Amino acid sequence: MGHTNWLNDEEMDAWIAFVSSAALVDRELDQQLKEDMGLSHLQYQILMTLNRAESGAMRMTELAERLINSKSGLTYQIGQMEKAGLVTRRQCEWSKSGVLAEITPEGRTTLERAAPGHVEAVRELVIDVLTPEQRRAIADGLGRVRDRIADTKQGGTCW
């Protein structure tokens, strides 16, 4: 077994701050969206991602990759959202095995109603707490982490 390169105090502080803040921010955003709109944070991200897609639709496998979610977890969420009329599923025209998720007009309306409260919460929890320099450092540093993992796992960035 190899030698473990243990984290020093500064590295441990950074790691603990990252892990705890990421969990707390996700929990707070999830709670805000559930209270305001009856959506989970993941469901909001699904609507946002589909809304930004060229035709309002995306293959389920690509959507799962983009959202860093399992295919089965995404299938469950899409099923719940389909029952609520926020998305639909249809066969992919260019692939018999592919399934597209598509945002509905009701899904777009829900996203438009949810966005102001969500952005306000993001600002309150993260953006307004940090200086512009800190935001740039976080974007740069965590962007490098994301890209390194994406490059290693998928042979290229998925963004």
Span 57-89, pLDDT tens digits: 999 999 998 898 888 999 999 999 999 999 999
Q: Which strand ranges, in their side-by-side order, compose the sheet holding 99-103? A: 57-59, 99-103, 87-91
Q: What is residue 159's predicted lDDT score, i.e. its pLDDT?
A: 35
Low-confidence residues of the chain: pLDDT under 50: 155-159
- Distance separating alpha carbons of residues 48 and 71, to the nearest angstrom: 18
The whole model's pTM is what?
0.85
Cα 152–chain centre separation: 20
Q: Domain 24-125 classified CATH 3.20.20.70?
A: no
